[in-house]
Amino acid sequence: MALAIHPGAPATSGRRVAGVLLRDRGAVLSAAFLALIVLMALGAPLISAISGHGPNEFDTAAVNTDLGGVPHGAFGGISAEHPLGVEPQNGRDILARIAYGARVSLLIAAAATALTTLLGVVLGMLAGFVQGWVDQVICRIMDFLMAFPALIFMIAILSSLPQGNREVLLVLVISGFGWPYLARVVRGQTLTLVNREFVEAARASGASTGALVFKEILPNLRSSLIVMTTLAVPGYVGTEAGLSFLGVGVAPPTPSWGQMIASSVGWYAVDPMYFAIPGTFLFLTVLSLTVLGDRLRAAFDAGEAS
C-alpha cells in the first residue's frame, strides 16, 4: 500500500484519469460547454464589436415604449440584431451582457477558488504539520467560521462595507467563509501522511521541512485537492450569482448573471426570456462544473480502489 501512494504515482494516475474522463460523454460535454463559456468571456469585446452593441448601450428602438418597454418581437426581442434579445425598458443587448457577465462570474469564482485553496492548503497543512497550539487555534477558527450563518453574514458584511471594489470584496468574503471546508480535509490528510513511513523516512534522512511539505506531502494531497476545488467552483459561481441577485454582489452597471436575473423579477410575467436566458446560462455552467467534479472524483476513486 505504501508503494501505491508514493510520490511519482500521481503522474501516471493523472494520465489515467484524463483517459477515463475523455471516454465519459457527460464529462466531455461539460468540458466543451465550459470551454465555450470561457471563450465567450474572453471574447466579450469581440462579440460586442461584431454585434455592434456594448453591454451598457441602450437601444430604445428595440423596445416598445408604449407598452411600458416590452421588447419588440417574440421571445424577448430575439432578432438578427440581438441574437439573445434585449432587456425590457432600456433595450440593452442580452448577448453582450451575458458575455460580459460571464467574465465577472468566472473571474470571481476562479479568484475565490484560488484564494480558498491557498488559505485551505496553507492553514490545513500548518495545522496538520506543526500541530500543538497552532493546530488548536486553527481548529477553533474553523469551528467558529463553520458555525456562522454564512449567507446572512456575507450579505450583512457586503452591505455594510463601503462601495469599493465589489469584485474584490466578493472574493474576499466568499474565501473567508469557504476555506475551513478545504482546510479540514487537508489537515486530516496531512495528519495521517506525517506519520506514514515514507515521510518519516524522508525526515530521518534529514530532509528540510520545505522539502517534506513540497516533495512528500503536497503531491499526495493532489488528487483530493483537484476534486475538492473542482467541486467548489460551481458553489462559488452560485454564491456570486446569489449575492448579486440579492443586490449585494457586483454593482450595476457591471453586468453579472445573478444581477440580470434579479432585475428580471419584475418582468417574468410579460418577458420570460429575460430571466430564462441568464438562468439557463447559470444553470448549465453550474451543472457542467458539478458533473466534471463528480466524474473527476469517480475517476480518482476508481484509481484508488484498483
How buried is 182 (Cβ within 10 angstroms: 0-12 exposed, 13-18 middle, 19+ buried)?
buried
For other proteins, which residue of 33, 129, 179, 245 counts as binding (CB under 8 A)? 245
CA distances 77 to 44, 71, 72, Å, are 21, 5, 5
How buried is 133 (Cβ within 10 angstroms: 0-12 exposed, 13-18 middle, 19+ buried)?
exposed
Binding flag, residue 236, other proteins (CB under 8 A) = no
For other proteins, which residue of 42, 156, 201, 211 counts as binding (CB under 8 A)? 156
Binding flag, residue 54, other proteins (CB under 8 A) = no
Binding flag, residue 265, other proteins (CB under 8 A) = yes
For other proteins, which residue of 10, 91, 101, 238 counts as binding (CB under 8 A)? 238
Binding flag, residue 31, other proteins (CB under 8 A) = no
Binding flag, residue 152, other proteins (CB under 8 A) = yes
CA distances 239 to 106, 141, 246, Å, are 12, 22, 10
- Contact status, residue 232 vs residue 119, Cβ threshold 8 Å: no
For residue 107, give the nearest of 38, 161, 54 by alpha carbon.
38
For other proteins, which residue of 180, 234, 249, 255 counts as binding (CB under 8 A)? 234
Binding flag, residue 293, other proteins (CB under 8 A) = no
Minimal distance, residue 34 CB to other proteins, in Å: 13
Q: Other C-beta atoms within 10 Å of 201: how many?
A: 12
Which CB, 171 or 241, lies closer to other proteins?
241
Amino acid letter, 103 = R
Residues 81-110 that bind other proteins (CB under 8 A): none
Minimal distance, residue 91 CB to other proteins, in Å: 21
Interhelix angle 44-51/25-42, rounded to 10 degrees, is: 70
For residue 292, give the nearest of 35, 91, 60, 114 by alpha carbon.
35
Binding flag, residue 283, other proteins (CB under 8 A) = yes
Where helices occur in the chain by DSSP H, the ranges are 9-22, 25-42, 44-51, 74-77, 94-130, 132-147, 150-160, 166-194, 197-204, 209-211, 218-245, 257-263, 273-305
Binding flag, residue 286, other proteins (CB under 8 A) = yes
Binding flag, residue 169, other proteins (CB under 8 A) = no
Minimal distance, residue 112 CB to other proteins, in Å: 17
For other proteins, which residue of 157, 185, 226, 251 counts as binding (CB under 8 A)? 157
Binding flag, residue 49, other proteins (CB under 8 A) = no
- Residues of this chain that interact with other proteins (CB under 8 A) are 143-144, 147-149, 151-153, 155-157, 159-162, 234, 238, 241-242, 245-248, 258, 261-262, 264-265, 268-269, 272, 275-276, 279, 282-283, 286-287, 290-291, 294
